[in-house]
């Protein structure tokens, strides 16, 4: 619980800083927020709707209503407080206010409203919605916030999901910073963010759902299955199916940390092309396991990758910055925003990968750090037996870069301690998706071999 408290403190401190910094910017939007506080806004997009749901939202098109325009930079009331019933549309800025006269000269195509979770979100506004899988006792249902920035100009829909594993916190902050800095009146297309998919897990500081299942092994889910199946199905049908592109954000698990990196099926040409949009990011080829959100999304025709950043239970500023910068580069490459400057080296770097496991139980002490390059045979760390005082060296089994590693800890024999990114045999083939690529031929375990072998070791969701 201490870790959760720490996170919330970090959130509030950060919100306070951000709201101070942007006070001048948000001043103009204060009128709309005041109207909302007065109860004149269309606050009924949130809990009131969820309480009355008897059937999936997609079967109730008539229930759509106009979503309120909300300045996402402003500190928000909690979702429940925004749920007071009120007259529709009063809280939203008229569309005409959002369109600059100059735009008429260029005659931009104005997109149609974007419908999501029973709300119509007009072009040029940002809003907060709520998703609920309806698996709890009526009235105790806890809606999961969904942020939407619907651009004034037409374009693709990018979705960002994080905390599918409730103890993976860096992504929550990456989604917040990315969404809250977008200007709907300048955006082409739209960005949908679900910062905390697994709210029960987040509240417990747990990777898993209340039924101890791993949600990221149950996509696309089913309406009649287990709790995890139903939650997965609800998210997939109500949110994910509306996306053209998806970045699902995770961290390492079980005291392992990851260099910021994408996991992508480079055998899929659409996915391979999608990875080109991420500046400077390490891209690790991984076919993905059945049930992963990115796998299910790719199977549904959505360009999807997993973004791995850092370790669980922590908020890591450098990792978060790298993640946000890479998403901004993606938005620019997809021509959804115009960028003022290019951050860092523009090209992503492609890797195959393998795991180095320890052969003895004991306490692992590393000599190397995340991002280090090692040659085959280099000493990476020791496992020390606390009883016999024996020291067992752990050496690189191949030359490569440390894209993931265990933090110092007690380990048992067979523990996957170092994740080495290695030069792919044929990067062109990966990017063009022309070759049936053998993931780990002749060089040990692939990412998914480790992941599918032990759920707890998995780094990809």
Identify which of residues 150 and 316 has a Cβ nearer to Zn ion in the complex. 316
Identify which of residues 215 and 243 has a Cβ nearer to Zn ion in the complex. 215
Least gap, CB of 171 to Zn ion (angstroms): 8
310 binds Zn ion (CB under 5 A): no
CA angle 341–344–349, rounded 5-degree value: 130
- On whether the CB atoms of residues 125 and 41 are closer than 8 A, the answer is no
Least gap, CB of 236 to Zn ion (angstroms): 17
**Which parts of 58-164 fold into alpha helices (H)?**
95-98, 101-106
Of 405, 356, 364, 355, nearest in space to 382 by CA: 364
Question: Which tokens hold the place of 391?
Answer: 């020291």
Neighbours of 283 (CB within 10 A): 24
Select the residue interacting with Zn ion from 233, 250, 256, 437 (CB under 5 A): 250
DSSP 281-336: -EEEE----TT-HHHHHHHTT-EEEEEEEEETT---HHHHHHHHHHHHHHHHHTTS
Least gap, CB of 248 to Zn ion (angstroms): 8
461 binds Zn ion (CB under 5 A): yes
Identify which of residues 129 and 457 has a Cβ nearer to Zn ion in the complex. 457
Only one of the segments 40-48, 175-183, 400-408, 453-461 lies at the binding site for Zn ion (rule: CB under 5 A); that segment is 453-461
252 binds Zn ion (CB under 5 A): no
Only one of the segments 8-16, 161-169, 318-326, 434-442 lies at the binding site for Zn ion (rule: CB under 5 A); that segment is 161-169
Identify which of residues 165 and 285 has a Cβ nearer to Zn ion in the complex. 165
Coil, strand or helix at 370: coil
CA distances from 9 to 4, 12, 254 (A): 9, 5, 24
- How crowded is the C-beta side of 75, counted as CA atoms within 13 Å? 12
Identify which of residues 124 and 461 has a Cβ nearer to Zn ion in the complex. 461
Identify which of residues 67 and 159 has a Cβ nearer to Zn ion in the complex. 159
Least gap, CB of 272 to Zn ion (angstroms): 22
Question: Which tokens hold the place of 454?
Answer: 């032990």
Least gap, CB of 456 to Zn ion (angstroms): 11
**Which parts of 154-221 fold into alpha helices (H)?**
170-180, 199-204
Coil, strand or helix at 352: strand
The rounded distance, in Å, linking the Cα atoms of 415 and 398 is: 18
Size of the site for Zn ion (CB under 5 A): 4
Q: Give the x-and-dash track for 192-231 against Zn ion (CB under 5 A).
A: ----------------------------------------
Identify which of residues 47 and 163 has a Cβ nearer to Zn ion in the complex. 163
Select the residue interacting with Zn ion from 165, 176, 218, 419 (CB under 5 A): 165
Interacting residues toward Zn ion by CB under 5 A: 165, 168, 250, 461
């Amino acid at each position: 619980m201490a870790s959760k408290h720490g996170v919330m403190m970090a959130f509030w401190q950060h919100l306070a800083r951000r709201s101070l910094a942007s006070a001048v910017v948000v001043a103009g939007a204060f009128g709309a927020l005041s109207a909302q506080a007065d109860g004149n806004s269309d606050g009924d997009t949130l809990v009131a709707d969820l309480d009355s749901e008897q059937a999936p939202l997609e079967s109730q098109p008539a229930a759509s209503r106009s979503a309120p325009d909300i300045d996402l930079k402003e500190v928000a009331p909690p979702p429940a407080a925004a749920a007071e019933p009120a007259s529709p549309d009063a809280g939203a800025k008229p569309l005409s206010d959002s369109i600059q006269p100059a735009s008429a000269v260029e005659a931009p195509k104005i997109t149609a409203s974007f419908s999501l979770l029973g709300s119509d979100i007009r072009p040029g506004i940002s809003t907060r919605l709520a998703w609920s899988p309806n698996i709890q006792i009526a009235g105790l249902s806890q809606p999961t916030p969904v942020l939407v920035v619907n651009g004034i100009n037409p374009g693709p829909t990018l979705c960002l999901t994080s905390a599918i594993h409730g103890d993976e916190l860096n992504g929550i902050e990456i989604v917040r910073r990315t969404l809250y800095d977008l200007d709907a009146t300048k955006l082409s297309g739209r960005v949908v963010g679900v910062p905390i998919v697994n709210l029960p897990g987040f509240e417990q500081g747990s990777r898993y759902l209340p039924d101890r299942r791993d949600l990221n092994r149950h996509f696309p889910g089913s309406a009649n299955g287990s709790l995890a199946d139903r939650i997965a199905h609800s998210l997939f049908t109500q949110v994910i199916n509306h996306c053209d592109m998806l970045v699902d954000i995770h961290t390492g698990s079980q005291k392992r940390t990851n260099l910021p990196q994408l996991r992508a099926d480079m055998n899929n040409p659409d996915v391979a092309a999608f990875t080109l949009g991420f500046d400077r990011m390490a891209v690790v080829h991984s076919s993905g396991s059945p049930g992963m959100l990115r796998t299910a999304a790719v199977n549904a025709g959505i360009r999807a990758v997993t973004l791995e950043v850092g370790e669980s239970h922590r908020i890591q500023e450098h990792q978060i910055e790298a993640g946000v910068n890479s998403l901004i580069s993606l938005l620019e490459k997809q021509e959804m925003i115009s960028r003022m400057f290019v951050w860092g080296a523009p090209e992503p770097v492609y890797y195959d990968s393998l795991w180095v496991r320890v052969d003895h139980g004991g306490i692992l002490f590393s000599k190397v750090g995340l991002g280090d390059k090692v040659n085959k045979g280099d000493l990476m760390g020791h496992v020390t037996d606390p009883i016999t005082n024996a020291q067992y060296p752990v050496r690189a089994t191949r030359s490569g870069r440390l894209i993931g590693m265990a933090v110092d800890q007690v380990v048992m024999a067979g523990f996957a301690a170092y994740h080495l990114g290695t030069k792919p045999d044929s990067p062109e083939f990966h990017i063009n998706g022309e070759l049936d690529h053998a993931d780990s031929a002749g060089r040990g375990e692939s990412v998914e071999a480790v992941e599918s072998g032990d759920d707890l070791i998995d780094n990809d969701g």
